[in-house]
């Protein structure tokens, strides 16, 4: 029986745990396809993402369709027992379309047009592109409806990856229509954009442009609206295709692959329109923070799907091709990071791509099957071993991760915070989120992400690393949450502007001051490499960086003060009792060790416990009845499980153990 939390299944046809990758058979001759299916079976592959970049093959000209080759691939895969996540193939328009309609090509803010010859060369607002993409999606759906291999739809590919926004005349017109819907009248737009500043008042809609390259900063409210508009335009492209697919194959789930914390698209709005959330994850193996960041992305994906299992749609087996130096994963790292995704809620582990390309811009990117003979490829042996293991882990499928902490994450606030001309250009939202996340990751406290307007009552602790833009609704939600007994931890430069990027007047942080029990009189951002001494009330020293500010307590108690400079003896960290709950406020960015200690205290007060007390470098996450122990370190670690769970368990270097579930024994490949 399907568990209620499992991803939607088509007549039970989606395998419980998915294993596979992007499959581009059009880059190979037919004899290779047969070999592919044989090798896929050998590796335990049960799903492939097919035809993502096949538009020019499927539709060689406006009136010509060529499905025979793809039919043969679909049939071969089906005969081999491999299911298909079929792409709508709309991510890379064919040359003929761009040549017939050059106005569909995207234009940058400085007027430079992007030409065909790579991929994603379309203006998201272009009626030409939209019509052609809808027609292709519809034709694909008509053609493959009922095909026994068809299991899921993969719409487009990484929307916005290369072209998140377009500034052409077609986009300008679409922007005006979008603005009319948002603001109603030109007078209201003038108010919302604060156009009395620098003589920017508009007399008619026709005068409004996208924020093209200007002598200096374009109007920030205009920029913010343009970011909203650009996310919405791409979402409309997705929805147009989705409409066609749903009409022809209502039973087939639909996804489009996300790119972790991708700034241009408000994924909360996108995820609501998908049956399954899927993500592409390419952590840099040479960066020691990559394990933590990949965990954070996994938690975001789970949260975007409101707890449902998600799919790791793309990762590399070894290395990518797009960094300055493409460092390969060390042996075991691909397996460890795959388990990490499963620990954080993934029911599918997939790769870009199945077979390494012989030509084109990505021929040096890793793949499941590399250029050389498979038998001599260590990667192939890792791929096969993981496939074999995953086949034995079906009990994991559909189980849920339970978090008691929520991290407030809001795309609009992110966009607004990072617009130019702020007190500090060094203040970046993801750095802020990471400073909280890393502290919790280090102590194995699991967190979800949530919107500031979400119902937060299920969480014992809510952290808001930065909520620069706050709506009345969000401020009320946070207050109600604390009032009713919730615990909140929030950092500086929150509650500063409204949805139009206007200052919330009345003393910073106006809508949150009573909740936090402080007034912020002024900000003193710190230059790079400057640290400011901080001292906690118990005398323990700490360091602040990035930011400092003059805080006037208005009801809050002081937990730490600045210990040097002009803010010496002034509050750096405060705590306010508000209603039945508490609100802790941080006026600087504390070093990682102090953050861990502080969050331990805050978690303790909120009744949030670590999954397990594990040695440094061991990540622990519970999913359903299972507890994953992932050792990111270079040496074996002993983890104390406690008497109930059976004493101590040793986890090897870069190895994983799942308490409650045996990982199938590795036989030599
Ligand atoms: C993205 C794309 C793939 C491929 C990989 C390479 O994830 O979706 O088509 O280009 O990057 O890393």
Q: State which ligand 1 atom lies nearest to the alpha carbon of 314.
A: 7
Contact 307, 446 (CB under 8 A): no
pLDDT mean over 501-508? 98
SS3 49: strand
Backbone phi, then psi, for 343, in 5-degree steps?
-60, -35
Q: Is 258 in the pocket of ligand 1 (CB under 6 A)?
A: no
- For the chain, what are the domain ranges? 18-162+231-396, 405-606, 618-659
Whole-angstrom Cα distance, residue 433 to residue 292? 12
Atom of ligand 1 nearest to the CA of 280: 7
The angle subtended at Cα 182 by Cα 176 and Cα 185, nearest 5°, is 75
Chain segment 116-162, per-residue pLDDT in tens: 999 999 999 999 999 999 999 999 999 999 999 999 999 999 999 99
* b/e burial code for range 274-295 (CB count within 10 A of at least 16 → b): bebbbbbbbbbbeeeebbbbbb
Task: Choose which residue among 353, 362, 368 to substitute to test ligand 1 binding: the one with the highest number of ligand atoms within 8 A of its C-beta.
Answer: 362
Fold type of domain 405-606: Rossmann fold (3.40.50)
What's the residue count for the chain? 669
Pairwise CA distance, residues 624 & 613, whole Å: 19
CATH no. for 18-162+231-396 = 3.20.20.80
Is the CB of 158 inside a 6 Å radius of any atom of ligand 1? Answer: yes
3-class DSSP string for 330-384: CCCHHHHHHHHHHHCCEEEEEECCCECCCCCCCCCCCCCECCCCHHHCHHHHHHH
- What integer pLDDT is reported at residue 5 of this predicted model? 40
For ligand 1, the distance from its centroid to the CA atom of residue 390, given in whole angstroms, is: 23
pLDDT for position 15: 78
Residue 551 clears pLDDT 50, i.e. is over it? yes
For residues 390-426, one letter each, b for 16 or more C-beta atoms within 10 angstroms of the residue's C-beta and e for the rest, the string is: beebebbbbbbbebbbbbbbbbbbbbbbbbeebeeee
First to last CA, the chain: 33
Given a contact cutoff of 8 angstroms between Cβ atoms, the answer to whether 468 and 459 are in contact is: no
Q: Residues 10-52: pLDDT tens digits?
A: 334 577 999 999 999 999 999 999 999 999 999 999 999 999 9
Q: What is the DSSP letter of 107?
A: B
- Active site residue ranges: 158, 314
Q: Judge whether residue 640 has pLDDT over 60.
A: yes
C-beta of residue 235 within 8 angstroms of C-beta of residue 138: no
Residue with tokens 């106005």: 103
Pocket flag, ligand 1, residue 314 (CB < 6 Å): yes
Is the C-beta atom of 219 inside 6 A of ligand 1? no
Helix or strand or coil: residue 33? helix
Global pTM?
0.97
**Does ligand 1 lie within 6 Å of residue 259's CB atom?**
no
**Nearest-atom index, ligand 1, CA of 52:** 9
Confidence of residue 364 (pLDDT cuts 50, 70, 90): very high
Which burial class, exposed, middle or buried, applies to 540 when counting CB atoms under 10 A from its CB (0-12, 13-18, 19+)? exposed
Ligand 1, atom 7, lies closest to the CA of 280
Residue 207 DSSP code:
G
- Closest C-alpha to ligand 1, atom 2: 158
Cβ of 268 below 6 Å from ligand 1: no
Long-range CB contacts (within 8 A, 24+) of 471-477: 471/498, 471/499, 472/511, 474/410, 475/511, 475/512, 475/515, 477/452, 477/453
Q: Give me the phi and psi of 288, to 5 degrees please.
A: -60, -15
Structure tokens at 18: 């998915």
Cβ(320) – ligand 1 distance below 6 Å: yes
Residue 157 near ligand 1, beta carbon < 6 Å: yes
pLDDT at 6 over 60: no
Closest alpha carbon to 233 in 274, 188, 272, 177:
177
In this predicted structure, the answer to whether residue 3 has a pLDDT above a threshold of 60 is no
**CA 352 to centroid of ligand 1, rounded, Å:** 6
d(CA 238, ligand 1 centre) in Å: 18
Residue nearest to atom 4 of ligand 1 (CA): 352
């Amino acid at each position: 029986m399907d568990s209620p939390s499992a991803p939607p299944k088509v007549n039970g046809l989606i395998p419980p745990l998915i294993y596979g990758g992007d499959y581009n058979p059009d880059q190979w001759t037919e004899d290779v396809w047969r070999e592919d299916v044989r090798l896929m079976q050998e590796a335990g592959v049960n799903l492939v993402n097919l035809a993502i970049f096949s538009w020019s093959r499927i539709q060689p000209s406006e009136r010509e369709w060529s499905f025979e080759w793809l039919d043969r691939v679909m049939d071969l895969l089906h005969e081999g027992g491999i299911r298909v996540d079929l792409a709508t193939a709309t991510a890379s328009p064919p040359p003929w379309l761009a040549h017939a309609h050059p106005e569909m090509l995207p234009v940058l803010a400085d007027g430079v047009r992007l030409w065909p010859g790579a991929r994603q060369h379309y203006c998201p607002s272009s009626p030409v592109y939209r019509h052609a993409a809808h027609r292709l999606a519809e034709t694909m759906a008509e053609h493959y409806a009922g095909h026994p291999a068809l299991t899921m739809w993969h719409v487009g590919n990484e929307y916005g990856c290369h072209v998140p926004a377009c500034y052409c005349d077609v986009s300008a017109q679409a922007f005006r229509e979008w603005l009319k819907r948002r603001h109603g009248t030109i007078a209201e737009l003038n108010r919302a954009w604060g156009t009395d500043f620098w003589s920017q008042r508009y007399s008619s809609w026709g005068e409004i442009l996208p924020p093209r390259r200007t002598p200096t900063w374009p109007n920030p409210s205009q920029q913010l609206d343009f970011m909203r508009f650009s996310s919405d335009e791409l979402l409309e492209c997705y929805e147009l295709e989705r409409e066609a697919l749903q009409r022809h194959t209502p039973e087939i789930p639909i996804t489009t692959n996300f790119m972790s914390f991708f700034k241009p698209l408000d994924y909360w709005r996108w995820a609501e329109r998908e049956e399954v959330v899927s993500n592409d994850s390419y952590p840099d193996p040479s960066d020691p923070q990559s394990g933590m960041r990949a965990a954070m992305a996994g938690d975001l994906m789970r949260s975007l799907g409101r707890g449902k299992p998600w799919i790791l749609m793309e990762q590399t087996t070894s290395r990518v091709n797009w960094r300055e130096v493409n460092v390969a994963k060390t042996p075991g790292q691909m397996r460890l990071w795959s388990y990490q995704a499963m620990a954080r809620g993934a029911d599918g582990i997939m790769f870009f791509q199945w077979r390494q390309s012989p030509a084109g811009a990505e021929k040096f990117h890793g793949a499941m099957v590399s250029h050389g003979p498979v038998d001599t490829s260590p990667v192939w042996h890792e791929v096969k071993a993981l496939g074999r293991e995953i086949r034995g882990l079906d009990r994991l499928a559909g189980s849920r991760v339970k978090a008691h902490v929520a991290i407030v994450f809001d795309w609009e606030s992110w966009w607004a915070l990072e617009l130019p001309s702020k007190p500090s250009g060094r203040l970046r939202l993801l750095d802020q989120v990471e400073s909280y996340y890393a502290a919790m990751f280090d102590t194995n406290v699991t967190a979800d992400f949530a919107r500031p307007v979400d119902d937060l009552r299920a969480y014992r602790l809510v952290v808001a690393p930065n909520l620069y833009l706050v709506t009345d609704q969000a401020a009320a939600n946070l207050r109600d949450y604390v009032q009713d007994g919730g615990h909140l931890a929030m950092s500086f430069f929150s509650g500063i502007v409204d949805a139009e990027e206007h200052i919330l007047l009345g003393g910073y942080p106006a809508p949150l001051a009573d909740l936090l029990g402080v007034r912020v009189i002024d900000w003193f951002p710190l230059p790079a490499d400057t640290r400011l001494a901080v001292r906690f009330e118990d005398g323990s020293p700490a360091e602040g960086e990035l930011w400092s500010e003059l805080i006037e307590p208005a009801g809050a108690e002081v937990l730490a003060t600045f210990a040097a400079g002009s803010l010496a003896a002034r509050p750096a960290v405060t705590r306010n009792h508000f209603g039945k709950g508490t609100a802790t406020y941080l006026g600087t960015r504390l070093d990682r060790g102090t953050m861990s200690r502080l969050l331990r205290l805050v978690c303790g007060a909120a009744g949030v416990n670590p999954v397990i007390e594990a040695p440094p470098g061991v990540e622990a996450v519970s999913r359903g009845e299972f507890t994953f122990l992932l050792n990111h370190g270079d040496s074996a670690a002993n983890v104390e499980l406690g008497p109930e769970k059976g004493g101590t368990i040793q986890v090897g270097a870069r190895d994983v153990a799942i308490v409650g579930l045996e990982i199938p024994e590795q036989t030599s490949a």
